[in-house]
Amino acid sequence: MKVLNVVGARPNFVKMAPLVREMDRRSGQIESLLVHTGQHYDERMAGSFFRDLGLRRPEIDLGIGSGSHTEQVARIMLAFEPVLKSYRPDWLVVVGDVNSTLACALVGARVGVRIAHVEAGLRSGDRSMPEEINRLLTDQLADLLLTPSADADQNLRREGIGPERIVRVGNVMIDSLFEQLAAATHSRIREELKLEPGGYAVLTIHRPVNVDDPSRLAQLLRLCGEIADRLPLVLPLHPRTRERIAQGGAALHPGIRTIEPLPYPDFLRLWSGARLVCTDSGGLQEETSALGIPCLTLRETTERPVTIERGSNRLVGTDRRRVLDAVDAVLAEPWRSGEVSPPTPTIPLWDGRAAGRIVDSLLAHYIV
């Protein structure tokens, strides 16, 4: 069985690493090719992740680079089509909800290659998010929808997708998380930053809705400054966020400590020792829930409601009172570190073995 796997951005690398390794372990049954679109293209945002996650270097790098959503999708489609026509896989595997996911799925549908979507069925209900459009369209195009949780199955059935196309496999991002726990213990990031476990918070912000409007970004940073009055706040700066802060001239509270984006093991070591995490990321909602670290999601909607229902995530938006009340509630609770061996999952199938179930599903649905 020939499989073409696509990655484009950091969240894709985390999800794809255990999947590619599982395919390599079954090389007698599967031949796989890895294509990197180059959506995240510099060493900090992409290069180190291949090394740290043990993900082999892609056989093909399209080198697309930055651009608007429309520009990226168009350039990826043009560059990817000849690759797909040349390799002619039995399965095109796309993961997540980035522009590369949708662009390659569109090409696959036009060329007539069967598409498997890993992390299918997630919905926020907010179509102002580019990722939501990517999810909706990719799921309509995919032949096999590999879901992480029961709510995703329900979303797909509600949209008219037949049950024969839906397979719940669990969360492959948690496979990478559990695999990296041991490696993270060797990181010295907390010592380098002089941080005591449980004595700081971690902040990540990069969503356009939070950082592209200068007044909204300034307001959010002021709010984060109030959090920093309660405990130190470490902010690994996404390039987009750094650029927007520089453009807007927003002042940072002295309690907010900015650092460069971190390799995966260092970042895991950082947030797993935090008292709480504040984020607008999707993946961090899942990872913090898997280890029981309190997470405050600075958005009005989430495509991962299971992290609220059964995990440690709280949806707080950016309203000052809501956020600060949630921070105070977390600080009033007992703290425990996330630095433990893989815990008993509180969410079904978030057990570190999703990659095996994904490959089993691809083989089971393989048509000669």
pLDDT for 90-104, tens place per residue?
Answer: 999 999 999 999 999
Which pLDDT does position 50 carry in this prediction? 82
313 with 291: CB under 8 angstroms? no
In a domain, 339, yes or no: no
- Whether residues 191 and 141 share a domain: the answer is no
Judge whether 320 lies within some domain. yes
Q: Which residues are paired to 32 by β-bridges?
A: 3
- 172 burial (CB, 10 Å; 0-12 / 13-18 / 19+) is buried
Looking at the fold, whether 134 and 219 belong to one and the same domain comes out as no
Q: What is the largest CA-CA distance in the chain?
A: 62
- Please indicate, yes or no, whether residues 157 and 256 belong to a single structural domain of this protein: no
Q: What's the total number of domains in the chain? A: 2
Say what the pLDDT of residue 168 is.
98
Residues 276 and 172 in one domain: no
Average pLDDT of every residue of the chain = 94
> What CATH number is associated with residue 248?
3.40.50.2000
pLDDT-derived band of residue 352, with 50, 70 and 90 as boundaries? very high
Q: Which of 114, 20, 70, 8 is nearest to 358 (CA)?
A: 20
Is 83 a domain residue? yes
Confidence of residue 45 (pLDDT cuts 50, 70, 90): low
pLDDT for 245 beyond 70? yes
- The predicted model gives 4-32 an average pLDDT of 96
Domain carrying residue 230:
186-331
The per-residue pLDDT for 48 is 75
pTM of the model: 0.94
Q: State whether 87 and 215 are in the same domain.
A: no
Residues 45 and 159 in one domain: yes
CB-facing half-sphere around the CA of 190: CA atoms within 13 A? 22
Question: What's the rounded mean pLDDT across residues 331-343?
Answer: 82
In this structure, the number of other CB atoms found within 10 A of the CB of residue 247 comes to 11
The DSSP code sequence of 38-77 is: -SS-SIIIIIHHHHHTTPPPPSEE-------HHHHHHHHH
In this prediction, residue 220 carries a pLDDT of 95
Within a domain: residue 344?
Answer: no
- Which residue pairs from 305-309 have beta carbons closer than 8 angstroms and sit at least 24 positions apart in sequence? 305/151, 306/148, 306/149, 306/150, 306/151, 306/347, 307/347
**Residues 11 and 92 placed together within one structural domain of the fold:** yes
Residue 42 pLDDT grade (very low, low, confident, very high; cuts 50, 70, 90)? low
Confidence of residue 46 (pLDDT cuts 50, 70, 90): low
Tokens representing residue 357 in the block: 């179930």
Cα–chain center distance at 91: 22
44 pLDDT above the threshold of 70: no
User: Are residues 57 and 117 located together in one domain of the fold?
Assistant: yes
CB 197 within 8 A of CB 273: yes
Domain contains 114: yes
Catalytic residues, which ones?
206
Distance between CA atoms of 225 and 119, rounded to whole angstroms?
34
pLDDT tens-digit map of 52-85: 898 999 999 999 988 889 999 999 999 999 999 9
Q: d(Cα 355, Cα 90) in Å, to the nearest integer?
A: 18
Identify whether residues 22 and 104 lie together within a single domain. Answer: yes
pLDDT higher than threshold 90 for residue 368: no
Same domain, 247 and 116: no
> Quick one: 53 and 123 in the same domain?
yes
Residue 309 lies in a domain: yes
CA distances (Å), origin 108, targets 2, 111, 134, 160, 366: 14, 5, 15, 21, 16
Residue 152 falls within a domain, yes or no? yes
pLDDT one-digit tens code per residue, 251-283: 789 999 999 999 999 999 999 999 999 999 999
Instruction: Report pLDDT for 336.
Output: 79
Q: Across the strands, what pairs with 6?
A: 35
Instruction: Give the least confident one: 39-48, 124-133, 353-362.
Output: 39-48
